């Protein structure tokens, strides 16, 4: 004989089942991360979008939203003020903000050789820093290279009084340089350099070649966010590092990344040739001399120590700064980087 359970017991069982099912559904929901980029879409952003196209985020249980930006300083402010979970920007800009009290820390470094340089016309007689004495140079005051100009000139035994620095707005600087009114322009090969190829072909005096190597683009977040979403951030940073590894493996993979970028940002009116040139130009900055045998994304303490020394001289950080205050490698999964990158 089958005995019916009391109504109250049946309700209890139903509620218990509902709670268990709800927990299962919640456990299956993806971890959401809001990503703030430093600028509008650029070729070297393509690994982020490739990872989405490949389904690498989804397969790892992540839901990623990417927001273009208006500069590294702004991206750092947005992340520091809890408006975004993780940011991509110049890590030297992040370090400057950290030194001023912003609660931010780097969790992956992609450009481990700094990409700041002085462009001079391809046919110019300027071969070394010393040769810019008496020359007219464009230097945008709000740019991330601005704090390091004195150190750069000092490497050629020059000071600002030896050159004429013209502060030109970012939106107009390339056009001013293209007119031929100035002798050089500070910028980066992965952005400015590609644009100048059409306007006024130039070559680059790289700051890093003169022992002024400061960290370039990478990922950063707040220490509090590492405690709240550490697992998701570790997975995300590792996937992007793996995507960079995948992209550099062959020209076909680079093309694939740019296609992913163009599909993801159809309203940005991106030029495919420019985007691919920017991506390829970035490859030379993915490794420093100390990191050539380490996975993309892994940061080096000695590189950071050298950078902080440069930044101390530029009065961007206080003396005695420790590299570990500014970065951590604890949020990179080397096995996942290898799996995604295919190497």
pLDDT at 320: 87
Average pLDDT of the segment spanning 262-266: 97
Beta-carbon contacts of residue 202 (< 8 Å; ≥ 6 apart): 119, 120, 121, 122, 185, 193, 196
- Whether the pLDDT of residue 11 is over 80: the answer is no
Mean pLDDT of the chain: 91
- At which residue do the structure tokens 């910028």 appear? 187
Cα separation, 85 vs 93, in Å, equals 17
Between residues 167 and 144, the one the model is more confident about: 167
Mean pLDDT lowest for which of 51-65, 293-307, 312-326?
312-326
Q: Could you tell me which residues are beta bridge partners of residue 297? A: 109
Between residues 35 and 14, the one the model is more confident about: 35
Residues 278, 42 contacting (CB under 8 angstroms):
yes
CA distances from 184 to 58, 170, 278 (A): 45, 15, 20
Mean pLDDT lowest for which of 155-164, 192-201, 281-290?
192-201
- pLDDT, tens digit, for every residue of 217-249? 999 999 999 999 999 999 999 999 999 999 999
- Binned at pLDDT 50, 70 and 90, residue 18 comes out as very low
pLDDT at 264: 97
pLDDT at 191: 86
Q: List, in order of start, the domains of the chain with CATH numbers.
A: 30-113+214-341 (3.40.190.10), 117-210 (3.40.190.10)
- pLDDT, tens digit, for every residue of 67-88? 999 889 999 999 999 999 999 9
pTM for the model stands at 0.88
pLDDT at 12: 53
- Whether the pLDDT of residue 1 is over 60: the answer is no
- Binned at pLDDT 50, 70 and 90, residue 190 comes out as very high
Average pLDDT of the segment spanning 323-328: 96
pLDDT at 171: 84
- Binned at pLDDT 50, 70 and 90, residue 169 comes out as confident
Cα separation, 115 vs 206, in Å, equals 7
- At which residue do the structure tokens 């020209």 appear? 251
- Whether the pLDDT of residue 15 is over 70: the answer is no
pLDDT at 227: 96
């Amino acid at each position: 004989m089958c005995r019916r359970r009391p109504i109250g017991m049946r309700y209890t069982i139903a509620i218990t089942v509902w709670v268990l099912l709800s927990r299962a559904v919640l456990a299956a929901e993806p971890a959401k991360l809001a990503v703030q980029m430093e600028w509008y879409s650029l070729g070297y952003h393509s690994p982020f979008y490739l990872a989405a196209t490949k389904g690498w985020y989804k397969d790892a249980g992540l839901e990623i939203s990417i927001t273009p930006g208006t500069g590294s300083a702004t991206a750092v402010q947005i992340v520091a003020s809890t408006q975004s979970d993780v940011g991509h920007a110049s890590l030297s800009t992040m370090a400057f903000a950290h030194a001023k009290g912003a609660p931010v820390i780097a969790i992956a470094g992609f450009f481990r050789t700094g990409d700041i340089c002085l462009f001079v016309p391809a046919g110019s007689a300027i071969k070394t820093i010393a040769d810019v004495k008496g020359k007219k140079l464009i230097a945008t005051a709000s740019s991330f290279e601005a704090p390091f100009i004195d150190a750069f000139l000092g490497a050629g035994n020059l000071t600002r009084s030896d050159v004429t620095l013209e502060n030109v707005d970012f939106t107009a600087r390339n056009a001013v340089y293209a007119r031929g009114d100035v002798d050089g322009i500070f910028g980066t090969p992965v952005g400015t350099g590609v644009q100048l190829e059409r306007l006024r072909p130039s070559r680059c005096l790289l700051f890093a070649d003169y022992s002024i190597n400061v960290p370039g683009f990478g990922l950063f977040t707040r220490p509090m966010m590492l405690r709240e979403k550490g697992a998701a951030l570790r997975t995300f940073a590792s996937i992007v590092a793996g995507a960079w590894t995948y992209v550099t493996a062959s020209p076909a993979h680079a093309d694939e990344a740019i296609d992913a970028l163009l599909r993801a940002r159809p309203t940005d009116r991106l030029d495919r040739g420019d985007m691919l040139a920017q991506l390829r130009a970035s490859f030379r900055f993915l490794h420093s001399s100390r990191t050539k045998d380490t996975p993309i994304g892994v940061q080096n303490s000695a590189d950071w120590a050298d950078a902080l020394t440069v930044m101390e001289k530029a009065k961007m950080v206080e003396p005695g700064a420790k590299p570990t205050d500014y970065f951590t490698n604890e949020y990179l999964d080397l096995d996942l980087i290898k799996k995604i990158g295919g190497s």
